[in-house]
Each structure stands twice: as C-alpha cells, then as structure tokens.
C-alpha cells in the first residue's frame, strides 16, 4: 500500500476482510491510502494477530475495525488503548485472537508505541458505495466522510503528541463537507 516513504512517522492498519460489514476496516484503510499521506504507513490485516508484524514502539499506531457494539449514536469512535467501552466489546470479526488479546500480547512483549488508537467504525451507521440504497438514511454517513474523519483526527493526534481521550469522532447525523 501507499505511504511507505522515509518520512512516514505513523501506522494505520485496517483490520477485517474483503466481505460483508467486516470489510469496513479494509475499506477505510484503502480510502486513507488513496489520500497518499507521506507521514502515514497504511496496511491491512485479516486477523488481529497479524498486527504483530507491523507494530513498532517507535511509531504511533491507529487500528480501524468494524463494530456492532452498543455505542451511543456515532459512526466513528476513537479509543485510546487500553480503554475500550466494556470488557465484552469485540470487533465485528470472528478471529481466534481478538484485538484486545493481541494488543495485550504486544504490550507484554514491549512492542506497543506510547500512542495506540482504535477507531471503531459502526457498521450500522456507515454506508459504502456498493451498499443497498434501502440502508441509506439520515442516520448513516458515507464511507468517504468516515475516511476523512479518521485521517484528520489521527493527523491531529500525531502532530499534537498529546494525551488523547476516548470518545466519538463525529456523530452519525453531523453534516460536514467531504472535500476531495
């Protein structure tokens, strides 16, 4: 994927698959890669355990994964590791090693950077271009807007090197222009 230049100073990894709602992590990663940000290395993994190949204590890490967790109304939530909304929260994927376990393992191996963000994309509130028009409503937002929210939020986070809290990145009903 794009973004492997010598100036790359952060990772963004989409977790998921090529099918169904679980594809949202990959679709967001593809959208971010298409923006060709030289400061960002973008990768996709099919299983959270594959993150261990890319995790580096030197580079901030953002993970993007689809969820159907019972979160308050927002298409996109940001969590700072180890904060997750509840002990039982899991991403939409059904892998032998869930994201929480893999991040705990990476932490115990001292592989995690100081900044690890998890962007949870609510599969019920995001519409993708190929989705059925019946699912487009005032409560859903287009995928390209979610991509823009992730990039803008992560870029501010990396630039600030500040303490970032968990919470919604943008409400599902919030309207913003999606400049290209």
Find the CATH number of the domain harbouring 160. 3.40.50.1450
Longest distance between any two alpha carbons in the chain, whole Å? 46
Q: Is 164 inside any structural domain?
A: yes
Q: Is 176 inside any structural domain?
A: no
Q: Is 4 inside any structural domain?
A: no
What total number of domains does the chain contain? Answer: 1
Report the side by side order of strands in the sheet with 10-15. Answer: 40-45, 10-15, 61-67, 116-122, 76-80, 167-170
Mean pLDDT of the chain: 77
**Per-residue pLDDT tens digits for 53-82:** 999 899 999 999 888 766 666 678 888 888
pLDDT interval class at 49 (50, 70, 90): very high
**Per-residue pLDDT tens digits for 80-136:** 888 766 554 555 445 556 888 899 999 999 999 998 999 988 887 787 766 545 444
Q: Is the pTM of this model over 0.85?
A: no
**Measured distance CA(65)–CA(62) in Å, rounded:** 10
pLDDT at position 176 is 41
pLDDT at position 172 is 37
Q: Is 179 inside any structural domain?
A: no
Coil, helix or strand for 99?
Answer: helix
Coil, helix or strand for 116?
Answer: strand
Structural domain boundaries enclosing 102: 10-170
From 65, 78, 40, select the one nearest 159 (Cα to Cα): 40
Q: Is 104 inside any structural domain?
A: yes
pLDDT at position 164 is 59
**Measured distance CA(59)–CA(80) in Å, rounded:** 15
pLDDT at position 77 is 81
Q: Is 178 inside any structural domain?
A: no
Q: Is 73 inside any structural domain?
A: yes
Q: Is 2 inside any structural domain?
A: no
């Amino acid at each position: 994927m794009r973004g492997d230049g010598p100036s790359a100073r952060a990772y963004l990894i989409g977790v998921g698959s090529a099918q169904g709602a679980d594809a949202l992590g990959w679709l967001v990663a593809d959208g971010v890669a298409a923006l060709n940000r030289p400061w960002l290395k973008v990768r996709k993994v099919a299983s959270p355990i594959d993150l261990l190949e890319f995790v580096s204590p030197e580079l901030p890490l953002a993970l993007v994964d689809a969820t159907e967790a019972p979160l308050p109304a927002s298409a996109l939530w940001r969590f700072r590791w180890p904060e997750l909304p509840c002990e039982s929260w899991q991403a939409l994927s059904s892998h032998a090693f869930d994201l929480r376990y893999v991040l705990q393992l990476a932490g115990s191996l001292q592989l995690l950077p100081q900044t690890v963000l998890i962007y949870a994309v609510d599969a019920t509130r995001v519409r993708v271009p190929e989705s059925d028009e019946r699912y487009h409503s005032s409560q859903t937002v287009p995928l390209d807007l979610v991509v823009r929210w992730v990039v803008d939020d992560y870029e501010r986070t990396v630039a600030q090197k500040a303490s970032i809290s968990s919470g919604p990145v943008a409400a599902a009903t919030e309207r913003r222009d999606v400049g290209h």
